[in-house]
Amino acid sequence: MVLRRYTAAVRERLLSWFDAHARPLPWRTPGARDPYRVLVAETLLQQTQAARAGEAFPRFLARFPDPTALAAARDHEVLAQWQGLGYYQRALRLHRCAQVLVRDHGGTLPDDLAALEALPGVGRYTARAIAAQAFGQAHVAVDANVRRLGARLLGLAQPEDRVIEAGLATLLWGDASDSRHADRLPDHMTEALIELGATCCTPRRPACHACPLRRACHAAASGEPEAFPAPRRRRPPRREQLRLLVARRGAAVALARRPGHGRWAGLWGFPQANDANPVGRPLAGFEHGLSHRNLQVRPLLVRAERVPAEVVWVPLSRVAEGGGEHPVAAVDQRLARQLLAADERRAERSSALVGSA
Ligand code: ADE
């Protein structure tokens, strides 16, 4: 009884805070939430800041309003809508997920956790986020922000996600495994935790004074909230060479399809050099940072007839804008912009020479 009153008070505080402070993000519509919209939002949010995901969300939904529309699209159309967001594999998985929804679930999302987790691209976190936000089920979804918040609230140095799920569930509604409580659960509880972790319980200088859960929080009571969770040793990003072939034909450059797996699955890009390629003339290189890699980009200018036969020829200016029908990764877009800028400098220099002659 005491516990029940306590958890009701914690819930109240969390929800009042959410009502007052939640950012106005486009997937936060009042009333029942469409499961497909939650799926798209959570997929966008997997690796992208909420503000940028918020810009892409309406655009993506306008083009692919439901699983059936997404399932019917071609890969490159999906990738084109994902441009600039990175981590393109998740777009391709979302596409595959829509096809599975149409094939196996009548074009809608299942409300069962196990069935959700079986969908392409839907892991433990996303399945729980959908089950809670779209179907009002009693699940805590642990992403990086909730992981930090949970470790602090529960006072644990390096807890596993399952421990956080169970600990937060007990704190918020007594007993997560007891689904009889599910109907008492406000739909927004799970998202309120995510939001609190993202905006208040920040990695550095958490705003404990503004936190609705302060009185229940072990880390705040310890006076050193930043000490939770215990820092993990981060490996420095690995350096990796990327040799790209620049073949030009008039205003166009050659693009090849990147392999169907790996970090740029399904995208196009400057063909990668291998040992069988002829040596080209080195052009100015640059460093390009990915989350776990530091790419040392080494472009090589080669003759048009030396690139593989299966390339397509795309105007350099279009590649610099993202590739259009042939969407490219950010690193290729950056190289295209660099080439375009060098062309412009060369053109200016030659017109200056003509002018002075
Ligand atoms: N990160 C993951 N899910 C989110 C959500 N629903 N709102 C804000 N940030 C999030």
Q: What is the pLDDT of residue 127?
A: 97
What the block records as the tokens of 270 is: 């400057």
CA of 85 to the centre of ligand 1 (A): 16
CA–CA distance, 78 with 96 (Å, rounded to integer): 11
CA of 145 to the centre of ligand 1 (A): 9
Instruction: Extract the runs of DSSP E, i.e. beta strands, from the chain.
Output: 238-249, 252-257, 268-269, 281-282, 286-289, 293-302, 312-315
Ligand 1 atom nearest the C-alpha of 129 is: 3
Catalytic (active site) residue 12: no
- Own/partner pairs, 85-90, CB within 8 angstroms, 24+ separation: 85/44, 85/47, 85/48, 85/52, 85/53, 85/56, 86/47, 86/48, 86/330, 87/46, 87/47, 87/48, 88/263, 88/264, 88/265, 88/266, 88/267, 88/329, 89/263, 89/265, 90/43, 90/46, 90/47, 90/121
Domain architecture of the chain: domains with CATH: 2-227 (1.10.340.30), 238-356 (3.90.79.10)
Q: Which mutation among 143, 146, 189 tests ligand 1's pocket best, with the greatest number of atoms within 8 A of CB?
A: 143
Burial classification of residue 77, based on how many CB atoms lie within 10 Å of its CB (0-12 exposed, 13-18 middle, 19 or more buried): middle
CA of 44 to the centre of ligand 1 (A): 9
Task: Find the catalytic residue in 12, 42, 305, 325.
Answer: 42
Query: Which residues form the pocket of ligand 1, taking CB atoms under 6 Å from any ligand atom?
Result: 25, 41-42, 45, 50, 143, 191, 194-195, 198
Residue closest via CA to ligand 1's atom 6 equals 191
Please work out, in degrees rounded to the nearest 5, the angle formed at the alpha carbon of residue 153 by the alpha carbons of 147 and 154: 90
CA of 301 to the centre of ligand 1 (A): 44
Q: What is the pLDDT of residue 183?
A: 47
Instruction: Please name the residue that has the structure tokens 């979804």.
Output: 141
Q: Which mutation among 21, 28, 40, 45 tests ligand 1's pocket best, with the greatest number of atoms within 8 A of CB?
A: 45
**pTM of the full structure:** 0.78
In the chain (357 residues long), the average pLDDT of successive 10-residue segments reads 75 92 89 89 94 95 97 93 87 96 98 96 96 89 96 95 92 61 62 95 97 96 95 86 95 92 86 79 94 92 88 96 89 96 92 74
